[in-house]
């Protein structure tokens, strides 16, 4: 990924992609203390727009605050940086990756004296879990790794270190031939995917776990709003693994994954074993919204 043309916003400067290196004694590389965002921009009829940019930037600043990292930029500056990265790289649609990390100003765990660095990279990225799967649905497996415990990892933060568990879980199930992992919380209740929130639908009621161990996903919030607008009942509650087995429909949400139907869990078909009708309706509404085709919630589109 390092060998590419283009520019990355690096501590306030647009630097050539290949020159955006960091020293091997970078604090965040050793200890995982850092935070990041995943943001998408779409080509809309009125030009390229970043979806819910302000919410993503706010979550990034909240993550940094939780980790006790001092942010050298304002939210406005970071919003502008993300737009600038799209413009300079001539990207009409893209995935954006802002990341906040400590540098190589010192070694040892003591964080005083370290500098906070910020980068924003962007590139084109298709359907995260596969284009065919957006219609067909994916096969998932319950992970042998549990999602984090709230007072060990800080789950409100989208922290680099939280992705150790995500990476272990995803790569374990990929090796076994599944598309994504379902992670349970330390008490055994359904939490989320490795990089997605989960929803289940039974008897027309849409349920999603509360965000104790799961990330407070921006796509999750968006889909809850869309479901509410359609008149569906949406409930945030504890969900058990076997409830997913007997659900009529299930899907994942995430900036990268958008709305991805789940067709099978632990080798059991969910409902009819394909994308369900409510999932299809919400997926279409989400894609129309982010692509600027629905005209609703125009305030969620930041044109570049
Ligand atoms: N959970 C985890 C662990 C994630 O990494 C993501 C992706 N950011 C999500 C949920 C979904 O969050 P969002 O909809 O804000 O992208």
Can you spell out the DSSP letters for 182-223? EEE-TTS-EEEESS-EEEEEETTEEEE--SSSS---HHHHHH
Domain ranges of the chain: 7-123, 133-290
Q: Look-up: residue for tokens 């930041």? A: 302
176-185: pLDDT as tens digits: 999 999 999 9
Give the pLDDT confidence score for residue 127 in this predicted structure: 87
Ligand 1 centroid to residue 255 C-alpha, Å: 7
Cα separation, 158 vs 215, in Å, equals 7
Q: Tell me how far apart the alpha carbons of residues 148 and 37 are, in angstroms, rounded to a whole number.
A: 19
Instruction: Please identify, by atom number, the ligand 1 atom nearest to the C-alpha of residue 197.
Output: 10
Torsion, CA 64, CA 70, CA 75, CA 79, rounded to 10: -80
Q: What is the pLDDT of residues 286-301, one digit of tens each?
A: 999 999 999 999 999 9
The mean pLDDT value for 237-259 works out to 98
Per-residue confidence (pLDDT) for residue 222, from 0 to 100: 98
Spatial CA neighbour of 195 closest among 211, 174, 180, 175:
180
Between the CA of 25 and the centroid of ligand 1 the distance, in Å, is 29
Active site residue 90: no
Ligand 1 atom nearest to CA at 219? 14
Measured from the CA of 221, which atom of ligand 1 is nearest? 14
Tens of pLDDT, residues 87-118:
999 999 999 999 999 999 999 999 999 999 99
Q: Cβ atoms within 10 A of the Cβ of 16, count?
A: 12
Give the residue-averaged pLDDT of 7-34: 97
The residues, ordered by sequence, that sit 6+ positions from 228 with a Cβ below 8 Å of its Cβ are 234
- Nearest residue (CA) to ligand 1, atom 3: 195
> DSSP secondary-structure letter at 22?
-
Kindly report the CATH class assigned to 7-123.
alpha beta
Nearest residue to 302 via CA among 150, 105, 143, 86? 86
Catalytic residue among 43, 65, 158, 281: 158
**What is the H or E stretch that residue 13 is in?**
strand 13-16
Residue to probe by mutation, ligand 1, list 255, 256, 286, 290, most atoms within 8 Å of CB: 255
Please name the residue whose Cα sits nearest to atom 2 of ligand 1: 195
> Mean per-residue pLDDT for 226-238?
98
Site to probe by mutation for ligand 1, drawn from 36, 37, 38 as the one with most ligand atoms within 8 Å of Cβ, is: 38
Q: Helices 277-290 and 218-230 sit at what angle, rounded to 10 degrees? A: 110
Residues 23-48, mean pLDDT to the nearest whole number: 97
Answer for the pair 96, 37: CB distance below 8 angstroms, yes or no. yes
Output the residue whose Cα is nearest ligand 1's atom 11. 254
Mean pLDDT across 58-79: 98
Range 133-290: architecture per CATH: Alpha-Beta Barrel (3.20)
Residue burial 86-104, b: 16+ Cβ < 10 Å; e: rest: beebebebbbbbbbbbbbb
Residue of higher predicted confidence among 127 and 20 = 20
| Measured distance CA(21)–CA(15) in Å, rounded | 10
Residues in the chain: 304
Atom of ligand 1 nearest to the CA of 194: 3
Ligand 1 neighbours by CB, cut-off 6 Å: 38, 166, 192, 195-197, 214-215, 217-220, 253-255
- The ipTM (two decimal places) reads 0.99
């Amino acid at each position: 990924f390092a060998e590419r043309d283009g520019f990355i916003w690096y501590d306030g400067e647009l630097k050539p992609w290949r020159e955006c290196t960091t020293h091997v004694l970078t604090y965040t590389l050793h200890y995982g203390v850092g935070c990041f965002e995943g943001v998408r921009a779409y080509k809309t009829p009125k030009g390229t727009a970043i979806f819910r940019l302000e919410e993503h930037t706010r979550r990034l600043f909240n993550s940094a605050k939780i980790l006790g990292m001092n942010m050298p930029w304002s939210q406005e500056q970071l919003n502008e940086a993300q737009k600038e990265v799209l413009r300079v790289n001539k990207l009409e649609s893209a995935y954006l990756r802002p990341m906040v990390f400590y540098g190589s100003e010192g070694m040892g765990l003591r964080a005083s004296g370290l500098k906070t660095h910020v980068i924003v990279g962007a590139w084109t990225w298709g359907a995260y879990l596969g284009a065919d799967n957006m219609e067909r649905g994916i096969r998932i497996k319950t992970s042998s790794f549990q999602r984090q415990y709230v007072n060990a990892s800080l789950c409100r933060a989208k922290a680099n270190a939280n992705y150790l568990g995500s990476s272990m879980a995803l790569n374990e199930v990929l090796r076994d031939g599944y598309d994504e992992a379902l992670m349970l919380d330390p008490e055994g209740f359904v939490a989320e995917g490795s990089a997605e929130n989960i929803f289940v639908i039974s008897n027309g009621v849409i349920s999603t776990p509360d965000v104790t161990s799961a990330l407070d996903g921006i796509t999750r919030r968006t889909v809850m709003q869309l479901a509410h607008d359609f008149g569906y009942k949406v409930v945030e509650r504890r969900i058990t693994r076997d409830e997913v087995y007997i659900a009529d429909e299930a899907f994942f949400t995430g900036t990268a994954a958008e709305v991805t139907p789940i067709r099978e869990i632990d080798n059991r078909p969910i409902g009819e074993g394909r994308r369900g009708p409510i999932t299809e309706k919400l997926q279409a509404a989400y894609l129309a919204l982010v692509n600027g085709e629905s005209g609703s919630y125009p305030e969620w589109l930041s044109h570049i």
